[in-house]
Structure formats: C-alpha cells, structure tokens
Amino acid sequence: MSLHEFIAGLPKAELHLHIEGSLEPELMFELAKRNRVSLPLDSVEAVRAAYDFSNLQDFLDIYYSGADVLRTEQDFHDLGLAYFRRAAADSVRHAEIFFDPQTHTDRGIPFQVAIDGLLASMDRAEAELGISSRLILCFLRHLDEDAAFATLKAAEPWQDQILGVGLDSSEVGHPPSKFQRVFERAGDMGLKRVAHAGEEGPPDYIWQALDLLKVDRIDHGNRAMEDPALIRRLVEQGMTLTVCPLSNHKLCVVDDLARHPLPSMLDAGLKVTLNSDDPAYFGGYVNRNYEAMADQTGVTRDQLVEIAINSFAGSCLPEADKARHI
Ligand code: ES4
Ligand code: ZN
C-alpha cells in the first residue's frame, strides 16, 4: 500500500477547522448568486489566484470578506455539509469545528442563523456520513472583551449544543490575557476551552493560554519549540496541540514544509495532531496535511498512526467513544 493510500484510509479526528475557512470558491459564487451579493473577482480561478498570503492578517482580510456571501440558515447548512462530505472522503470520523459568530453578527446576520444552519448540517453528517461533530465558538481576539462577553451571552440558548470556546483572528498584540475573564465565565458554564497560541505570537502567549485561560488544547503552538521550559510543561500536562502544516506554509509561519517543526515536536514528546485550519484557502483538507508531512519531513507510518491516535485522544469525545476509534 502506498503512503498516500495508507493516509487515506487512516481513521482520524479533525480538531482545528474553521468552518468559514472551508468555503470553496465554487460555493462562494453559488451563494453570491443566490443572495445577489457582488464579488470583487469574477471567476473561481481569479479567486484562487488571489490566495497568495504573506502573513496571517493578509489572509484574514480575504477570509472575512469571503464570509460575506453567507446570509441564510440554508447557506450555513450547505457550507457545513460540503465540509463534512469532504472530510468523510479523508476518513475523518469526528470533527470539532470552529465557527466565528462575530464575523456574522457584525454584518447583521443573527447568531441564530449561523448556529442553526451549522447544527442542521451536523445532524445530517451524523445520519448520512457517520461523522460525529461538535461546535466550538471562537471569539475574535482583535475585538474587545465586551464584544466577547456579548457573544457568549448570545450563545446561552444553545449552551448545550456548544462544546466549548476558542480564540482566533489576529494574534500579535491581542494576548490571551485580554480574554481571561471571558474564558473564566465559559469555564463556569461548563464549556471546554481552547485557544490559538504561538502561531505568529510568542511562546509567552502559550504560557498565558495555559495559565490564564486554562485551555484544554493549544491551537497551533509551533512557537513552543523556542522555549524548552514550555515544552516540558506541555509534555508534563499531556497537552494536545492542533498543528496545521499547509496553513503554516501559506501564512509564511514556516518558509519550507521540509523544515516544519513537526518531527522535533514529536521527538520532544508533544501530543501533536494534524489538521486543515482553512482548507479552502490553504490548498488542502486534512489528508493533504498528513501527506505533506510524510512526503517532506519523512515522518514514518508509525508516527502518522500516533498522530491519528492523538487526534481521538485529544478530542472531547466520551472515553468509550475514544476507545472505539483508537
Ligand atoms: C485562522 Cl489560521 C488562523 N489563525 C487565526 N485565526 C484564524 N481564523 C481563521 N483562520
Ligand atoms: Zn486556526
């Protein structure tokens, strides 16, 4: 069996996926037409050609403008279902997906529209594709604490349908400490906590995510490799890191996939998982991320299996379900 066939058949969980980042240009045009929204570029090819980023902010500007075609519950349902179909083809059995409610509420789309559309797609994914999934509500860290509190408040009617909270968007200049109180409230509500940290930001932001936000997972975490004491802490705590190689490459977090820190992260004993982040923008879904690392860094089949096991172990599935997948 070829390495790519081996990866294709490997059951996996996806723990770092922004559903708005799975909006393929084809669906973007379809929704633009359906909702009579005009797009600045006039073809799928032109849109794809524009996905040439030099840093996180460069990408975020395009990502937020792309999301403007999402208007109705049906749109969010279609977005979700397209992702789950694509994930099923990559042997994803369970997904814990991020959504960014503020990206929608700030342009007049009610919280209810986004979440009910996504929840409907998740029900279909379970029934038709056998994929289980949960939602993680992300706060946009470039916005202020009050806005995050208001978002958490808006989520209260759906509290039982939300797995946890996350923190995303522009990292540098917006440290985890800015959201300490919001995360404390989320914890009091019984929600899981995760945060993007150490993607572009310094190792100190990872320390803050651990000590101030009390996170259950670190999203990205690449820059932990600059701080040996932090590596020890993450290993001791058995902390799961949701690493996204194609994203790292497209956003120039790493200049060459062959020099991605994944092998040293594994050697250090970190619980690493591989994920697709924003697959429509970064050139591939989860299996492409596994393939890129296998082809370019030489991680072994045994290590790929270890990564897939980490993905279930680091998920929030009940222990019995984890055992069933592992
Ligand atoms: C994101 Cl790659 C990445 N980093 C931070 N925030 C994000 N939102 C969507 N993708
Ligand atoms: Zn992300």
Mean pLDDT value across residues 149-176: 98
Residue 323 lies in a domain: no
Residue 281 lies in a domain: yes
Number of structural domains (the chain) is: 1
Q: What is the CATH number of the domain that holds 97?
A: 3.20.20.140
- Confirm whether residue 18 is marked as ligand binding: yes
Residue 322 lies in a domain: no
- Among all bound ligands, the one having the nearest atom to the CA of 275 is 2
> How far does residue 250's CA lie from ligand 1's centre (Å)?
12
Our answer on whether the CB atom of 278 is closer than 6 Å to any ligand 1 atom is: yes
Using a 10 angstrom Cβ sphere, with 0-12 exposed, 13-18 middle and 19 or more buried, the burial of residue 268 is middle
The whole-angstrom distance between residue 153's C-alpha and the CA centroid of its chain comes to 22
pTM (two decimals):
0.98
Our answer on whether the CB atom of 18 is closer than 6 Å to any ligand 1 atom is: yes
Whose CA is closest to atom 1 on ligand 1?
169
Q: Is the ipTM of this complex over 0.95?
A: yes
Residue 88 lies in a domain: yes
Q: What is the pLDDT of residues 293-320, one digit of tens each?
A: 999 998 999 999 999 999 999 999 999 9
CA distance 264 to 258: 12
Our answer on whether the CB atom of 14 is closer than 6 Å to any ligand 1 atom is: no
Per-residue pLDDT band at 268 (split at 50, 70, 90)? very high
- Confirm whether residue 220 is marked as ligand binding: no
Per-residue pLDDT band at 243 (split at 50, 70, 90)? very high
Which DSSP symbol is given to 99? Answer: E
pLDDT at 135: 99
Our answer on whether the CB atom of 279 is closer than 6 Å to any ligand 1 atom is: no
Domain span at residue 208? 3-316
> Is 306 noted as a catalytic residue in this protein?
no
Residue 266 lies in a domain: yes
Q: What is the pLDDT of residues 8-40, one digit of tens each?
A: 999 999 999 999 999 999 999 999 999 999 999
pLDDT at 164: 99
pLDDT at 184: 99
The catalytic residue among 73, 199, 200, 291 is 199
Report the atom number in ligand 1 closest to the C-alpha of 168: 6
pLDDT at 48: 97
Residue 321 lies in a domain: no
Sheet containing 162-168: give its strands across.
12-14, 92-99, 132-140, 162-168, 192-197, 217-220, 240-243, 271-274
Residue 218 lies in a domain: yes
Mean pLDDT value across residues 259-286: 98
CA distance 32 to 55: 27
